[in-house]
């Protein structure tokens, strides 16, 4: 691994370059289908091939269950106004309960997962999720939303997290993106979740702007490239990468908070996905942790790392 001094200017700070939109809301069907395809591509020749193919199938199931899901309740104008006034995310994950709107994608995803080929350990975990009573299921939902998953039940929570991703992506898709503002460094403006990773995007305007990508709802929000994603510090930031990878995926490390976040450059590879490529670059996580930094990104498919 080698430290990288990345000194390119932030495109959003240069005069005469259009200011990037603050948020880009998810399109669930497209997002999950594209992610499934990316996982499948990354699996070829990879040491984690069986796991990446399992995740490809799981994301394909997330995409396939979208059609025909029940309509969500209309947005509450008072809730949106209160969120804007107090700079809070409009989707309150802290008070979420497994309501009927969530039960439909949850049940569909479990049914779709039963048709997947998977290791015996994953199959047993799926059966435990399916057999769980309402209280146990609610407990798993709250564990995922609190980003506090018990080590002894990692496999079960992968399926619950996948269902929650579907539900929250549908909720986030309908939000008034142009009216949304920052609610804090490293916090999703839609649901209050943590980012999985960040992207230097390939789409204008302007290409090269940096976006955080929510690990739960898939919302992307603009963040300055010169600023720590986790604590907002603008000093003592460095970038680490594995030698020979061409700088496409780096780890942004911060000496102030001792955390790190991956930064992926879609200008080098437009097919990069903030969830799939995060899993596929687990080796970078292991190396950066050896330097004494803690992982700041949350990825439900990297639970335990």
State pLDDT tens for residues 235-269.
Answer: 889 999 998 778 899 999 999 999 999 999 999 99
Kindly tell me if the per-residue pLDDT of 304 is higher than 90.
no
Spatial contact of 285 and 291, defined as CB atoms under 8 Å apart = no
- Judged by average pLDDT, the poorest of 3-7, 173-177, 283-287 is 3-7
Q: What is the CATH number of domain 28-173?
A: 3.90.1670.10
Average pLDDT of span 203-209:
79
* Domain map (residue ranges) of the chain: 2-24+177-302, 28-173
Q: Kindly report, residue by residue over 26-76, the tens digit of the pLDDT.
A: 999 999 999 999 999 999 999 999 999 999 999 999 999 999 899 999 999
pLDDT on residue 176? 95
Spatial contact of 211 and 223, defined as CB atoms under 8 Å apart = yes
Per the prediction, the chain carries an average pLDDT of 91
pLDDT on residue 72? 93
Spatial contact of 231 and 259, defined as CB atoms under 8 Å apart = yes
pLDDT on residue 3? 52
Average pLDDT of span 120-149:
94
2-24+177-302 is classed in which CATH architecture?
Alpha-Beta Complex (3.90)
* % of the chain with per-residue pLDDT over 70: 94
Question: Where in 60-209 does DSSP place strands (E)?
Answer: 195-200
Instruction: Say how many C-beta atoms besides its own lie within 10 A of residue 108's C-beta.
Output: 20
Identical fold for domains 2-24+177-302 and 28-173, yes or no, is yes
Kindly tell me if the per-residue pLDDT of 7 is higher than 50.
no
pLDDT on residue 17? 62
Distance between CA 279 and CA 56 in Å, rounded?
12
User: 114 Cβ partners below 8 Å, 6+ apart?
Assistant: 126, 130
Q: Number of helices (H) and strands (E), helices first, in the chain?
A: 9, 9
pLDDT on residue 11? 44
The first and second tokens of residue 24, run together, are 């880009």
Long-range residue pairs from 98-105, CB within 8 A, at least 24 positions apart, any chain: 98/134, 98/137, 98/138, 98/141, 100/70, 101/70, 101/72, 101/73, 101/167, 102/141, 102/163, 102/164, 102/167, 104/69, 104/70, 105/65, 105/69, 105/163, 105/166, 105/167, 105/170
Average pLDDT of span 219-230:
92
pLDDT band at 1 (very low <50, low <70, confident <90, very high): low
pLDDT on residue 5? 44
């Amino acid at each position: 691994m080698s430290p990288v001094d990345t000194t390119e200017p932030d495109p959003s700070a240069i005069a005469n370059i259009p200011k990037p939109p603050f948020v880009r809301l998810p399109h669930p069907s497209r997002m999950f289908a594209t992610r499934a395809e990316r996982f499948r591509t990354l699996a070829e020749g990879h040491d984690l091939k069986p796991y990446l193919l399992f995740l490809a199938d799981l994301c394909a199931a997330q995409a396939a269950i979208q059609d025909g899901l029940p309509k969500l309740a209309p947005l509450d104008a008072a809730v949106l106004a209160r969120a804007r006034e107090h700079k809070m995310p409009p989707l309150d994950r802290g008070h979420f309960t497994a309501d009927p709107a969530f039960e439909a994608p949850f049940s569909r995803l479990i049914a779709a997962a039963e048709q997947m080929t998977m290791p015996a350990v994953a199959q047993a975990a799926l059966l435990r999720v399916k057999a769980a009573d309402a209280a146990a299921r609610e407990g798993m939902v709250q564990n995922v939303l609190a980003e506090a998953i018990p080590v002894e039940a990692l496999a079960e929570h992968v399926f619950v997290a996948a269902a929650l991703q579907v539900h929250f992506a549908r909720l986030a898709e309908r939000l008034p993106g142009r009216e949304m503002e920052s609610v804090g460094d490293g916090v999703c403006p839609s649901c209050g979740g943590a980012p999985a990773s960040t992207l230097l995007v390939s789409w204008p305007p302007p290409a090269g702007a940096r976006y955080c990508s929510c690990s739960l709802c898939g919302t992307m929000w603009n963040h300055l490239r010169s600023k720590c994603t986790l604590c907002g510090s603008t000093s003592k930031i460095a970038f680490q990468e594995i030698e020979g990878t061409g700088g496409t995926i780096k780890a942004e490390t911060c000496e102030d908070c001792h955390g790190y976040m991956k930064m992926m450059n879609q200008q080098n590879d437009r097919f990069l996905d903030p969830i799939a490529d995060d899993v596929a670059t687990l080796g970078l996580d292991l190396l950066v942790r050896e330097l004494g930094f803690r992982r700041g990104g949350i990825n439900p498919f990297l639970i335990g790392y």
